[in-house]
């Protein structure tokens, strides 16, 4: 291709955003990444595979195995393992956790990356609206099932991939599953706000219920942070013909999946985040959270409603 003009190059660099500079190695450490067979999840797995052991947790085993063998060949790391996980089915989530805990002694990084976007109205195997079910409840249950392992392996990190779209979300407790009214764009926004609120409340509980972000030492040494990866050219918009078309036209102004993965990697490995928890990042730096995303009462209520829906007790 012809060389980029200076203006185009500057524009492209601006779009690329922040880059994770950390060279931290993860020898002897284990990371799980959900939805790592494509897009930013795959690029996150590629980066972490240069540092340590990676478990790719995906619904589509064929795609996941293809991604894993590509990453193994490129990084020379044979410790890139594929496991079946369907976040739209709590039975699959429980089976995944059970197998993982039977086979692995430790877990140091859990990246809740998988997501659906702009789905036509549909429900998960358990009757949850698809965006809320996969993006929030599926990861909520997965984190619950793996938390003891994370605590025992501490220091450990939980990284929740949210989105700038959380600004457009609200938690509609009166109609959580969109049965009264449904808009697929808003349903995505609501689920991304749920990611931010879950991260906030989880961080608070892991700190030993201390107000604010008090001394890390009195908590569990497990951190939980959320992030916005940026507007990324990926398969996430596949359910919308219009968005797919727009994404193609404006691809120059979108991050590549590798660029979009940088903040996930940063939250997972950067040494300066060792004791940072309950925060929200974009472009590898702290970012603004919407007022709804800072509402502790809503976060607490969402937590208890999520536990009820999933039939778990998480105190």
What burial class does residue 85 get, using C-beta atoms within 10 Å of its C-beta: 0-12 exposed, 13-18 middle, 19+ buried?
buried
Identify the burial level of 73 via C-beta atoms within 10 angstroms of its C-beta, where 0-12 means exposed, 13-18 middle and 19 or more buried.
exposed
CA angle 200, 24, 12 (to 5 degrees): 75
DSSP secondary structure letters along 245-314: HHHHHTGGGSB-HHHHTHHHHHHHH-GGGTT--S-EEETTEE----GGGG-HHHHHHHHHHHHHHHT---
Residues tagged active-site: 188
* φ, ψ (nearest 5 deg) of residue 100: -60, -50
Helix (H, G, I), strand (E, B) or coil at 178: coil
Asked if residue 267 lies in contact with residue 112, where contact means CB atoms within 8 angstroms, the answer is no
Q: Which two tokens stand for residue 203?
A: 């961080």
């Amino acid at each position: 291709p012809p060389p980029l003009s200076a203006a185009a190059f500057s524009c492209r660099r601006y779009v690329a955003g922040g880059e994770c500079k950390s060279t931290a190695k993860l020898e002897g450490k284990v990371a799980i990444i959900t939805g790592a067979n494509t897009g930013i999840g795959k690029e996150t797995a590629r980066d972490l595979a240069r540092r340590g052991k990676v478990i790719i947790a995906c619904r589509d085993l064929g795609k996941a195995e293809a991604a894993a063998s590509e990453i193994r060949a490129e990084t020379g790391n044979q410790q890139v393992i594929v496991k079946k996980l369907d976040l739209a089915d709590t039975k699959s989530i429980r089976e995944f956790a059970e197998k993982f805990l039977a086979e692995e002694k430790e877990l140091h990084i859990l990246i809740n990356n998988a997501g659906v976007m702009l789905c036509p109205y549909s429900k998960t195997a358990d009757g949850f609206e698809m965006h809320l079910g996969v993006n929030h409840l599926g990861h909520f249950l997965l984190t619950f099932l793996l938390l003891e392992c994370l605590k025992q392996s501490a220091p450990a990190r939980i990284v929740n991939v949210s989105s700038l779209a959380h600004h457009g979300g609200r938690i509609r407790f009166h109609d959580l599953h969109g049965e009264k009214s449904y808009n697929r764009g808003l349903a995505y926004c609501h689920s991304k706000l749920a990611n931010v609120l879950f991260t906030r409340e989880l961080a608070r509980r892991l700190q030993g219920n201390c107000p604010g972000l008090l001394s890390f030492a009195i908590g569990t040494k497990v951190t939980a942070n959320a992030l916005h990866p940026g507007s990324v050219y990926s398969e996430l918009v596949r359910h919308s013909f219009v968005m797919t078309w727009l994404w193609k036209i404006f691809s120059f102004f979108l991050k590549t999946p590798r660029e979009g993965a940088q903040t996930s990697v940063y939250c997972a490995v950067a040494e300066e985040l060792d004791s940072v928890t309950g925060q929200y990042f974009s472009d590898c730096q702290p970012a603004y959270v919407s007022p709804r995303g800072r509402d502790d009462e809503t976060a607490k209520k969402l937590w208890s409603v999520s536990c009820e829906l999933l039939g778990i007790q998480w105190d």
